[in-house]
Structure 1
């Protein structure tokens, strides 16, 4: 399941719900991305995330399907926030469940790399020095590229 929402994300509640009565998995891996207080030495007061509802969710669903096809998963959840996010608040939550830990770890890692570089989300940090758009870095693209087959 994937979801795009403006409401705050509660990672503990999402993880508890994801794990509730789960007897089919040997591993659950979760990741929570938080809004940090500074980026590259520049203070951050808020993070504004723009999305194109409908389209963004469709792309997120495609990324979910690709993750499920690539790894031996029992279940997956990805929740991404949009709108204004305060420092310390959750931006994204991903959890994967698998029979074995390696698939759960790799699937969570893979999905985060895909969300970071392919999901149509536009991020703008706001701080005392003004506004600045945040683009995926070269290292983000390199992280995503490591999943592609080598020629």
Structure 2
């Protein structure tokens, strides 16, 4: 099991990536989200941005966080990248299982997975190996993304 990052370690990685308390990238997020929604629609999954995802991305969009370890690597990018037919299909399938719309909020580079959020603020992870739950609280979500410590999402299926 991967080592859990402390709150201080997460804060350090966030600050190194350009985050600060109260960060708000404002209108840039609107363009990012509309572009992501259009890309998803082009692959058959229709979703509109919702407040939980918008709020999350207003604070964290465009940050590149480094994973723990030596050497550190760019690990997680808080924007929507590489939305292709396969990822759209995964997001649609997980959305159906959860009976909740999902919006992508991050791309994880090492494993090439996508973090998606539902309107309740829960964050899940789509990966070729399955679907995982990352958490609802900021530190839990970031810890999961940065260390790979994730739990199976099945308990959330309706």
**Into which bin does the TM-score normalised by the smaller protein fall?**
0.3 to 0.5
More helix by share: 2
Q: Which has the larger radius of gyration?
A: 1
Greater RCO between the two (CA within 8 Å, min separation 6)? 1
Q: TM-score, normalised by structure 2?
A: 0.34
Q: TM-score, normalised by structure 1?
A: 0.35
More strand by share: 1
